[in-house]
Amino acid sequence: DIQMTQSPPSLSASVGDRVTITCRASQSIRTYLNWYQQKPGKAPKLLIYAASSLQIGVPSRFSGSGSGTDFTLTISSLQPEDFAAYYCQQSSSAPHTFGQGTKLEIK
Amino acid sequence: EVQLVQSGAEVKKPGEYLKISCKGSGHSFAGYEIAWVRQMPGKGLEWMGIIYLGDSDGRYSPSFQGQVTISGDKSTNTAYLEWRRLKASDTAMYYCATQEAGKYDALDIWGQGTMVIVSS
């Protein structure tokens, strides 16, 4: 299985901050990397697919980059509704493993 | 509107049988792949496996192979997740989601989740 290592596990930030979450794959996954947001008690929501393609309806303050083994999710200016958990997932090779998650909290 | 609607929460005893469902509406899902994802209490997401509703052939993560059965019925746009003998460690929230080939197999549309509690 491909291992996905996400960092940091948790992050405290303020409204308006720029935040970056990283995800590293144990082998090359080209650009088969997806990002999800999950709020408490809710199902995950797809934010970005194919490393950098923004899902329809997702605000443009979210962006993704990377290829091969190293990827980032950036939120350019945090809004109150962005405080949630974020997960990366590789879909290059089954099983399509997730990172451990990053919990983004209000400072 | 395309959506997935999952069956309701379940409370079972160890050793019991359970089958939960995920029904698609608003579109024909015969050409879709439906994935199942586990989230244990307070933990992260785990990809369990997938079913192509067109041929009802389940494929599994090695971690879940032999532990669950994934099946589907294209005539009713429904995917299923089944346990023959539940264990306490199966207590979790289970989500289904469409795996969208046009989006690099990202999980696009999600069900609301089914909470399974296994306790004696």
Q: Which of A43, A49, A101 sits opposite B106 (nearest CB)?
A: A49
Residue B75: predicted pLDDT: 87
Whose CA is closest to B46, among A103, A95, A40, A37?
A95
Judge whether B96 is closer than 8 Å to chain A, CB to CB: no
pLDDT digits (tens, 9 = 90+) for B44-96: 999 999 999 877 788 999 999 999 999 998 888 999 999 999 999 999 999 99
Contacts of B62 in chain A (CB under 8 A): 1, 95
Cβ contact B103–A95 (<8 Å): no
- The answer to whether the CB of A88 falls within 8 A of the CB of A4 is yes
Of A82, A77, A80, whose CA–CA distance to A61 is shortest?
A77
What confidence tier does B29 reach under pLDDT thresholds 50, 70, 90? confident
Of B47, B99, B103, the CB nearest to A98: B47
Contacts of A37 in chain B (CB under 8 A): none
Residues 29-48 of B with CB under 8 A from A: 35, 37, 44-47
Asked if the model's pLDDT at residue B27 lies above 80, the reply is no
The torsion of the CA quartet A51, A26, A105, B104, rounded to 10 degrees, works out to 30
Q: Closest CB to A91: pick one of B62, B106, B111.
A: B106
Tokens of B7: 């069956």
* pLDDT < 70 stretches in chain A: none
pLDDT, residue B85, reads 98
Task: Identify the pLDDT of residue B53.
Answer: 83
Chain A residues within 8 A of B95 when measuring between CB atoms: 43-44
Cα A21 to Cα A6: distance, rounded to the nearest angstrom:
7
